[in-house]
């Protein structure tokens, strides 16, 4: 069972492309928030549910991660709603070959691409997509747009606001502190971020500062230089 969790503030083509990419490997897709209802209606695998929010009404990452109980039988995936994911099943097969047990966290770098329309996934040539993507550089390993994990609990996660700074680095750092094997799947999973204007204030707003404060409160020694993708303990090739 592979469960994808995300938010979808709109049902624009980027969100629908992301959902269509997840449908290829997910058994269930959970979209958080009433804003996600329209997007959820486009996929038989998707459902929209309510989610806890902060005072600014921004959904909380902690509630999304903990929505489905921890189970060694399920693989959980959290992805931003503008991220298309490919070759997830291939990456999971390689994880089995690592023989690291049934508790782990997988992350990877993304590529930014200018996608201007809906993608016809029924006729998508993955080889051609990979050839096009090869011309785009990977973004630096300081931020993660997707997390895949098995048999890891996140009940102690602070109430981070989604889409703001720090929570992604905290997640990786927390796993390192708890000796959870962390797998860098950059070279196997193709993660495509569909370019769009950045929401104003996402890096400087009070919620971003609160995320940073919460991360420091949890781990006083943590800094923005900790918990990067390249700090992973294993790498898939």
Per-residue pLDDT tens digits of the chain, which is 237 residues long: 899 999 888 878 999 999 999 999 999 999 998 788 899 999 999 999 998 999 888 899 999 998 876 666 789 999 999 999 999 999 999 998 998 999 999 999 999 999 889 999 999 999 999 999 999 999 999 999 999 999 999 999 999 999 888 999 999 999 999 999 999 999 999 999 998 766 656 667 889 999 999 999 999 999 989 999 999 999 999
Domains of the chain: 2-235 (3.90.550)
| Backbone dihedral angles phi then psi of residue 155, each to the nearest 5 degrees | -65, -20
* Cα angle: 108, vertex 112, 118; to 5 degrees: 110
- Quote the CA–CA distance of 37 and 31 in Å, as a whole number: 8
Widest CA span of the chain, in angstroms?
Answer: 50
Residue 178 near residue 151, CB atoms below 8 Å:
no
Tokens of 70: 């921890």
């Amino acid at each position: 069972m592979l469960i994808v969790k995300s938010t979808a503030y709109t049902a624009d083509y980027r969100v629908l492309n992301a959902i269509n990419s997840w449908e290829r490997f997910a058994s269930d897709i959970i979209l958080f928030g009433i804003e996600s209802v329209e997007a959820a209606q486009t996929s038989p695998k998707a459902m929209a549910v309510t989610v806890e929010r902060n005072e600014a009404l921004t959904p909380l990452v902690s509630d999304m991660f903990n929505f489905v109980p921890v189970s060694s039988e399920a693989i959980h995936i959290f992805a931003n709603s503008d991220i298309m994911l490919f070759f997830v099943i291939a990456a999971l097969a390689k994880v089995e070959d690592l023989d690291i047990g049934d508790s782990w966290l997988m992350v990877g770098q993304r590529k930014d691409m200018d996608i201007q329309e809906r993608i016809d996934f029924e006729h998508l040539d993955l080889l051609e997509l990979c050839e096009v993507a090869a011309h785009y550089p990977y973004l630096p390993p300081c931020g993660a747009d997707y997390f895949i994990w098995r048999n890891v609990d996140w009940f102690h996660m602070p109430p981070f606001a989604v889409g703001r700074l720090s929570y992604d680095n905290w997640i990786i750092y927390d796993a390192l502190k708890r000796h959870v094997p962390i797998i860098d799947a950059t070279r196997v999973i193709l993660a495509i971020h569909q370019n769009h204007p950045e929401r104003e204030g996402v890096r400087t707003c009070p919620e971003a500062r609160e995320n940073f404060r919460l991360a420091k409160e949890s781990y006083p020694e943590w800094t923005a230089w900790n918990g990067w993708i390249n700090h992973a303990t294993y790498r898939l090739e």
